[in-house]
Amino acid sequence: MAVRDIILYPDPILKTVCAAVPRIDDDSDALVQDLLDTMIDSGHSVGVAAPQIGASSRVVVVDVSGSKLGRNNNHGQLVIINPEILERQGSETMREGCMSVPDYTGNVIRATEIVVQFLDRSGKERVIKASGFEAVAIQHEIDHLDGVLFLDRVSSLKTDVFRRK
């Protein structure tokens, strides 16, 4: 249980394809807890991917339930291990920022609705349909597992400074 520092670009781990979690055990559980602690501690974050805290492992946590955009449409706190996006539908542009790339935001087009298959914290197989902001957040975090940053997907770059709430 620990809040970990967010790794910033140009650390090469952010551009590395992460390895699948081989088994659900104490190690994977400790990583999940660190991800949750780090997400909650940052206050404004709605998701963290394992490489952002230095673990090259296919695990992300997402929780948009506390944000204005995701409040009314979410699955609560999600622990997503070895995810695969099975289906994507629709497209929407949202201006994204990332804790690992401070001071940049850019317009990114993402699917509005996705079906994701993953293992939860206990290793149970799950399939959920996410939409709206939650779907955007999941896609952004899963991109981290493939070494893809929002900068690889932006259509225009703005050097807006984040508003931290």
Partner 1 sequence: MSHFALTIIGRDRPGIVSQVTEILYSIGCNIADSTCTILGGQFAMILILSHPEYHDRESFGDAFAPLEETGLSVFLRTLKPGGEIHCIDRGEICMISVYGADKPGIVYRVAKELGDRRVNITDLNTKLVGSAARPVYVMMIEAVLPEGTTVEEIDEMVGALKEELQVDISVRSITPVEL
> Which residues make up the interface to partner 1 (CB under 8 A)?
44-47, 67, 69, 94-99, 105, 133, 136-137, 140-141, 150, 158-163
Residue 62, beta-bridge partner list: 47, 78
For the CB of residue 143, give the shortest distance to partner 1 in the complex, in Å: 9
Residue count (the chain): 165
For the CB of residue 22, give the shortest distance to partner 1 in the complex, in Å: 27
87 among known catalytic residues = no
Residue 34 or 63 with smaller CB distance to partner 1: 63
Tokens of 120: 């939860």
For the CB of residue 57, give the shortest distance to partner 1 in the complex, in Å: 19
DSSP string spanning 39-108?
HHHHSS-SEEEGGGGT--BSEEEE--TTSTTTTTS--SSEEEEEEEEEEEE--EEEEEEETTEEEEEEEE
Catalytic site residue from 84, 96, 134, 141: 141
Residue 21 or 99 with smaller CB distance to partner 1: 99
* Active centre residues (catalytic): 141
